Amino acid sequence: MVLLSLSHLVNVIVVTIIPVLIARDSPAMTACYGPDSAARRILACLYATIAIASAVALIGQAWGNAALAIAIAGVLFPMQIAYKLMTLPAVGWRNPVVKSNLAIALLHTITLAALWQQRTLYVGGQ
């Protein structure tokens, strides 16, 4: 369950910092995400939603409800893995966001594999 906590914690940290920097119109965010726009603010909202879901998972796990953290991971991580992998062909390797996306996708993939290995994540009602 350490990997599960780590994956959720990375989500909380990374996708809390980015929306704050986007809201402040940080020059680093402009370099990575382009100038301020509705699309960039919508992306910040998506990131904040991921942070909230992972925070709920961490709180549930801390309160002894590992099933909640696993259930959230079972839905959230595959979605994140898919969209993070899609950033590579969509944006290209040179963008620093793509590199961090691939690292997080790898972490979430390892976490899901460990959960399946431990048989704590069930797919298709098995």
Annotated domain spans of the chain: 2-117
**pTM score of the predicted model:** 0.89
**How big is the CA angle at 41 (ends 39 and 83), to the nearest 5 degrees?**
65
Q: Give residue 32's pLDDT.
A: 87
CA 73, 57, 121, 3 dihedral sign is positive
Contact predicate 9/117, CB 8 Å: no
When pLDDT is averaged across residues 98-102 and rounded to a whole number, the result is 95
CA distance 74 to 108: 10
Contacts 24+ apart (CB under 8 A), 86-93: none
pLDDT tens for 58-82 read 999 999 999 999 999 999 999 999 9
Contact predicate 76/53, CB 8 Å: yes
When pLDDT is averaged across residues 99-119 and rounded to a whole number, the result is 95
Q: Is the pLDDT at 56 greater than 80, yes or no? A: yes
**How big is the CA angle at 51 (ends 122 and 44), to the nearest 5 degrees?**
125
Greater pLDDT, 25 or 79: 79
Q: Is the pLDDT at 28 greater than 50, yes or no? A: yes
Q: Give residue 126's pLDDT.
A: 46
Q: Give residue 52's pLDDT.
A: 97
Q: Is the pLDDT at 124 greater than 60, yes or no? A: no
What percent of the chain has pLDDT above 90? Answer: 80
Greater pLDDT, 120 or 102: 102
